[in-house]
Homo-oligomer: A and B are copies of this chain.
Amino acid sequence: MILHKKATLFIGLLIGFFAKAQTQDFTHYVNPFIGTSNFGATNPGAIAPRGMASVSPFNVAGRQNVLEKDSRWLSNPYVNENTFLTGFSHVNMSGVGCPDLGVILSIPTTGELQTDHLEYGTTYTNEVAKPGYYSVELDKYNVKTELTASTRVGVSRYSFPAGKANLLLNLGLGLTNEQGAVLKFNSPTEVEGYRMVGSFCYNNVESAYPIYFVARISETPANYGIWDKPAKYDGVEAQWMGYNGKTRLKEQFMREVVGDSIGAYFKYDFDKPTQVVMKIGISYVSVANARENLDEEVGDASFDAVYKQTKQAWNDKLSVVEVEGGSVDDKTIFYTGLYHTQIAPSILNDSNGEYPAMKTRAVKHTEGTRYTVFSLWDTYRNYHQLMSLLYPQEQLDMVNSMLDIYDQNAWLPKWELNATETFTMVGDPAAVVLADTYARGITDFDVDKAYKAMLKSADTREGNPLRPGLGEYIDNGYVSVDSDVAGPVSTTQEYNIADYAIAQLAEILGKKQDAKRFTKRALSYKKMYNKDSRFLQPKMSDGSWYEPFDPLAGANFTENPGFIEGNAWQYLFMQPHDIKGMIKLMSGEKKFEEKLDALFAEDQFDMANEPDISYPFLYNYLPGKSYKTREKVAELIDTYFTNKPAGLPGNDDTGTMSAWLVYAMMGFYPMTPGEATYTLSEPQFDTVRIHLNPDFYSNKTLTIKNQSTRNNYKTATFKVNGKALNNSQVMHKNWVEAGEIIFE
């Protein structure tokens, strides 16, 4: 990207000027289609910042589609290449690797009522997506559909032509494999119910739970009812069941209907083109709360009014960082990245503060915000650091949510989703987030409880759901292949990182003994380093190397005895807390650089997954090699992050990839999780202006300017008041309090 920056400079300046003239509408620079291809797993639907509800086009059912939800592992409700749309789902996840939610689907149709989504599905044209807004035209019906949302309410507007029309609310169809729903009409224009979801990552089905909703429509229908298609019965009684396997229409039925494949229909016969607005309030607590959310947030407000408010909310979020310079595409990938960091973690509590407790889902109450969707294996690396910088109140609420989870579940979260612990991935990432947040000066939480919770997972040798294999790890320094813990090398590395974070917090809290103990534990990765192969290798419990060793194991679905979601190359440098020690272990700076070069040269670097995403910044730690970090980072941005549907390197991982991008484009990166520091690269804009939250930061604005040229590029550095900063490591506190930083 850096290479063609000049070419776009003039255009960039022009656009920058116009953007300012529009009183800084940053939503303009968000392209919600980014990440909707190449398994980015984002969706272009309408959502408010961290919204509980979102309304996404749903085009992953039906074999007409390239990627079909029932014929493969697919984690998103929308794929840009697909063409067959079967509705608009009202609860969705974004940027995750496992399917869940993607339910409560509305769709407009015309003509006779048809309740089978494979029959009523349609191709579509003229998609438009903006923060809080999506629209599309459905080819089969000539119905324009527009979507918007407030935090807990999805709002859709359907522009029907004259004639027979239907509005459907399908509770059978969904991205999740779970089934079971309830529907009940309260009046011709209001239907309530719930839909069971869960089994994220095909796991933990005992925790499957209902999502409640109340749906209201603006136009009284000519008729309405519930359809129900029960499973086909196959006993001997089937001979008397003339209705076996057939869909039933329960016209104007006013009591609850239970079923796996049910939906509500509203029938119209319009004498002129007519718009119908549907508002669906969501809750994880009850139908009553869903109704309250609907009334509180939207009530009688028009579609346009809801959109206006949500757009404003987005602009407030995005305007925390103002950039100048760069192309429209540069700005678009940057602000879309920022946008993607504001979807998950999302809000779990209702407008009245109620939310479900972990496991039992008993009703709890919060005065603040209970966040959910904690994909911590991903987000501990950079996401929460970014939140601490840009949205510290949110980060604080997230930390308090994590402690709340600990209170209810007896363990810190690992991969929490809507008050269920999915125990996905490895390591003990919550400890890192807690330590890192505290270190960054966000301390208004019960740190004693946090520390106690961290120690529990760090010291419970047996029956530890967060840290399986911990006894062996404590005794021998590593988790062995024969322990049957998944990815024992990766797991050991993650435990090292978590232990380092605990040591950092212990240090701050003055717990010297613990600090010493965990600092020592954090370096045990060295026991897995084989000087002959020059890799971290899986080991047996007796201390012998696991044989055979293949540094590429894991590629092409080959067996992977040592690592999770990566191979020995991708995990080799994952010691962000002991970079000097790692360089020494790997025979010094020169050898280390060679190996790092080889990683990239041999195409073993994987931008699409988390373990190695900080590696381009490692050149900063080799004297005089910082330019390589800057080049590599720019190249990666240029290669993997584009203003296109395929413009993310893979799963956004609930904003982790986007957080990487946002940091990388601002020119710094939180190299060492658990430590309040940054390592530096190069700003991708002429100016980056960060508006800091005055409740957390004394300095109002942090301005970073890039005044480098081709000539001084190799030696350019960040300077504060003319004084050069250390590329490899600056303190977070110094950085944010600098006022103005110039890269030159």
Contact = CB atoms under 8 A, between A and B. Distances in A.
Interface stretch (A176-184, A659-667, A693-701): A176-184
Contacts of A285: 255
Interface of A: 70-73, 177-182, 194, 196, 199, 202, 205-210, 228, 230-231, 233, 235-237, 240-243, 248-260, 285, 356-357, 359-363
A210 B254 contact: no
A206 B249 contact: yes
A210 B258 contact: yes
Majority secondary structure of chain A interface residues (helix, strand, loop or mixed): loop
B255 A210 contact: yes
A339 B313 CA distance: 70
B361 A253 contact: yes
A252 to B, nearest CB: 5
Nearest to A195: B258
Given A71-B236, A206-B248, A259-B180, A362 B254 contact: yes
Nearest to A194: B256
Contacts of A70: 235-237
B202 A255 contact: no
Contact of A240 (B202, B210, B236): B202
Top 4 A-B pairs ranked by shortest CB distance? A180-B258, A202-B240, A255-B361, A254-B362
Nearest to A184: B210
A257 B179 CA distance: 11
Given A230-B179, A259-B180, A360 B241 contact: no
B205 A360 contact: no
A254 B205 contact: no
A258 B360 contact: no
A73 B253 contact: no
Contacts of A228: 208
A208 B258 CA distance: 10
A210 B177 contact: no
Given A236-B71, A237-B70, A256 B210 contact: yes
A167 B194 CA distance: 28
A338 to B, nearest CB: 34
A545 to B, nearest CB: 31
B257 A196 contact: yes
Contacts of A231: 179, 231, 260
Contacts of A253: 359-361
A417 to B, nearest CB: 15
Contacts of A208: 228, 248, 250, 257
A686 B674 CA distance: 98
Contacts of A252: 359-360
Contacts of A357: 254
A619 to B, nearest CB: 39
Contacts of A242: 202
Given A70-B236, A235-B70, A240-B73, A181 B258 contact: yes
Given A210-B255, A210-B256, A359-B252, A236 B177 contact: no
23 contacts: A70-B235, A71-B235, A72-B236, A73-B237, A177-B237, A179-B230, A179-B231, A180-B230, A180-B259, A181-B258, A196-B259, A202-B237, A202-B242, A202-B243, A208-B228, A208-B248, A210-B256, A231-B260, A252-B359, A253-B360, A254-B362, A255-B285, A255-B356
